[in-house]
Amino acid sequence: MNAASRIVHCQDAISWLAQNPLGEGCAIFTSMPDASEIKRFSFDEWQTWFVAAAEACVRALPERSAAVFYQTDVKRDGAWIDKAFLVQRGAYAAGSRLLWHKIVCRAPAGIATRARPGYAHLLCFSRDLNADPMDTTPDVLPELGEMTWARAMGLAAAEVAAQWLKDQAGARCIVDPFCGVGTALAVANKLGLDAIGVELAQGRAQKARELQL
Ligand SMILES: C[S@@+](CC[C@H](N)C(=O)[O-])C[C@H]1O[C@@H](n2cnc3c(N)ncnc32)[C@H](O)[C@@H]1O
């Protein structure tokens, strides 16, 4: 059996998605950048960009595939910035529906957190797939798992998402347009799936080519 492949492009994800509509068997699993990671935008500009980026991800997919987003909210100037809401605006504009919404505990239930909430969102959208009513994966994941760096997806949560895309959406290749150091790509390869990443920062793109789990 051939080893699962991995390709990482170092470029802007939005233009890459526009130029590379994804083929059958491709699914998206990503974690889009927070406002603090994009210095050229004001906060309002980032919100507009973030919604459009979610829309671009879903539009790039085949209709019978799915996109999973792993996002952590932020608290800013006394307001709660709900990234699940922002992702849903973009995904619905692209004509998809929410298949599931899981909560990933970043802190144990009952423990107060300050700057960042005690949970992250895992959201799955598709334009033409339906969720299987017999799907028995949990809605609340008690732990996110190890993180390869401060902005990484938790490994335990990433494994749940990639396994679902393989089993329920027929994914043979996982695409992460904002791949960071390549957590989603390495998890996909571990499950025997091919992986394609896009990352703007050169150093992270290189790490994403090399990350092994
Ligand atoms: C939340 S982090 C992703 C972390 C990743 N899931 C991991 O586990 O390492 C978002 C990433 O998007 C990258 N990024 C920001 N703007 C981008 C763009 N326009 N195109 C591609 N990547 C971008 C950032 O450099 C950052 O590494």
| Domain CATH code at residue 58 | 3.40.50.150
Q: Is the CB of 205 under 6 A from ligand 1?
A: no
CA of 206 to the centre of ligand 1 (A): 13
Whether 75 is covered by a domain: the verdict is: yes
How many Cα atoms occupy the beta-carbon half-sphere of 7 within 13 Å? 6
* 46 touches 37 (CB < 8 A): no
* pLDDT band at 116; cut points 50, 70, 90: confident
Q: Is the residue at 128 inside a domain?
A: yes
Range 68-93 average pLDDT: 96
Instruction: Please state, in angstroms and rounded to a whole number, the distance separating the CA atoms of residues 91 and 208.
Output: 26
Tell me: the pLDDT tens digits for 41-66?
A: 999 999 999 999 999 999 999 999 99
Number of structural domains found in the chain: 1
Range of the domain at 143: 6-210
Atom number, ligand 1, closest to the C-alpha of residue 176: 6
In a domain, 156, yes or no: yes
Answer yes or no: is the C-beta of 71 below 6 A from any ligand 1 atom.
no
Q: Which amino acid is at 174?
A: I
pLDDT tens by residue, 127-168: 999 988 888 789 999 999 999 999 999 999 999 999 999 999
CB 106 within 8 A of CB 72: yes
The whole-number pLDDT of residue 1 equals 54
For residue 191, report the distance from its CA to the centre of ligand 1, in Å: 22
Judge whether 191 lies within some domain.
yes
| 96 is a domain residue | yes
Q: How far is the CA of 199 from the centre of ligand 1 (A)?
A: 6
Chain Cα centroid distance, residue 11: 17
Q: How far is the CA of 49 from the centre of ligand 1 (A)?
A: 14
Predicted model pTM: 0.97
Residue whose token pair is 């909560």: 103
Please count the other Cβ atoms lying within 10 Å of the Cβ belonging to residue 158: 32
Q: Is residue 1 part of a domain?
A: no
Q: How far is the CA of 44 from the centre of ligand 1 (A)?
A: 19
Q: Mean pLDDT for the chain?
A: 95
Q: Is 199 in the pocket of ligand 1 (CB under 6 A)?
A: yes
Predicted pLDDT of residue 56: 98
* Ligand 1 lined by 153 (C-beta under 6 Å): yes
Of all protein residues, the one whose alpha carbon is nearest to atom 10 of ligand 1 is 33
Which ligand 1 atom is at minimum distance from the Cα of 204? Answer: 27
CB of 201 within 6 A of ligand 1: the answer is yes
Residue 2 has what DSSP assignment? P
Find out whether 213 and 190 touch, Cβ atoms under 8 Å: yes
- At residue 2 the predicted structure's pLDDT band, cuts being 50, 70 and 90, is low
Task: Please name the amino acid found at residue 206.
Answer: Q
Q: Is 183 in the pocket of ligand 1 (CB under 6 A)?
A: yes
- Dist. CA 132–CA 43, nearest whole Å: 38
Residue 162 lies in a domain: yes
Hey, how many other C-beta atoms are within 10 angstroms of the C-beta on 66?
27
CA gap 110, 48 in Å, rounded:
33
